[in-house]
Chain A
Amino acid sequence: QSVLTQPPSASGTPGQRVTISCSGGSSNIGFNTVNWYQQLPGTAPKLLIYTDNRRPAGVPDRFSGSKSGTSASLAISGLQSEDESDYYCAAWDDSLNGWVFGGGTKLTVL
């Protein structure tokens, strides 16, 4: 059971906009920033969004992050087949004094 809760799966068709949610509590998302990671099959995770809504250089602006209270969301617009991947949210937890990850969401492009 992960501290951060994500839906196990999501799907969309090419060109569509999809969102992935990440629900936490006051000790993690409520007081600390959220990062999002993309993990393509058989590869290492890649930073997609940091500090709630910032994109590292090279990440397309189709990817965006937002946060409200104790929940965060990753939105992907103009869905492409290469976006088919696992997505994880992560945040520092003040109670655990460590980082926590969501269980991951497998995105399928239909």
Chain B
Amino acid sequence: QLVESGGGVVQSGRSLRLSCAGSGFSLSAFGAHWVRQPPGKGLEWVALLSYDGINKYYGDSVKGRFTISRDNSENTLYLQMDSLRAEDTAIYYCAKDLGSGRHDHYGMDVWGQGTTVTVSS
């Protein structure tokens, strides 16, 4: 399973770092995503990191502000969120990819339960 942490209430313009810990399997063998869901709205893909940390992909709305990273020795995925805006308010889910996340794109299979980020103005 995947367990996210690090969410909370933060002022606009500040930073927050989310973590996603994998257990029961080796997250290090797979690509990993962050996906968010604003209150009452649909799913929005945020970022993808390949299993080896080499290939990084970002959604247009977070490019240049968010950074995805991982520590395979700790079986953990991270999302550093800087220059936060009110529109970043959402539940943030981490999800494992079906593949390596490098140049093959199979998508998300295992999802965490989510952590809530609220950006106040």
Q: Which residues of A contact B (CB under 8 A)?
A: 2, 32-33, 35, 37, 39, 43-47, 50-51, 56, 86, 88, 90-92, 96-104
Query: What is the minimal beta-carbon distance from B37 to any residue of chain A, in angstroms?
Result: 8
| 26 intermolecular pairs with C-beta atoms under 8 Å apart | A35-B106, A35-B108, A44-B111, A44-B112, A44-B113, A45-B35, A45-B43, A45-B111, A50-B98, A90-B43, A90-B45, A90-B108, A91-B107, A92-B107, A97-B57, A98-B48, A98-B57, A99-B33, A99-B48, A99-B105, A100-B45, A101-B42, A101-B45, A103-B42, A104-B42, A104-B43
A45 to B107 CA separation, bound complex (whole angstroms): 13
- Inter-subunit contact A50/B44 (CB<8 Å): no
Known contacts A47-B107, A47-B111; 13 further A-B pairs (Cβ under 8 A): A43-B113, A44-B112, A44-B113, A45-B93, A45-B111, A46-B111, A50-B98, A90-B45, A90-B108, A98-B48, A98-B57, A98-B59, A98-B60
Tally B residues with Cβ within 8 Å of A.
24
Q: What CA separation (Å) do A26 and B48 show in the bound complex?
A: 22
Chain B contacts with A in 1-44, Cβ cutoff 8 A: 33, 35, 42-44
Inside 8 A of A92's CB, which chain B residues have their CB? Answer: 105, 107
B residues at A contact (CB < 8 Å): 33, 35, 42-45, 48, 57-60, 93, 95, 98, 105-114
Interface of B is mostly: strand
Give the 5 A-B CB pairs with smallest separation, nearest first.
A92-B105, A99-B45, A104-B42, A35-B107, A44-B111
> CB-CB < 8 A to A51: which residues of B?
106
CB contacts (< 8 Å) of B113 on chain A: these are 43-44
Given the interface pairs A46-B111, A50-B109, the reply to whether A98 lies near B45 with Cβ below 8 Å is yes
On chain A, the residues within 8 Å of B109 by CB distance are 47, 50, 56
Residue numbers in B under 8 Å from A56 (CB-CB): 109
Min C-beta distance of A80 to chain B, whole Å: 22
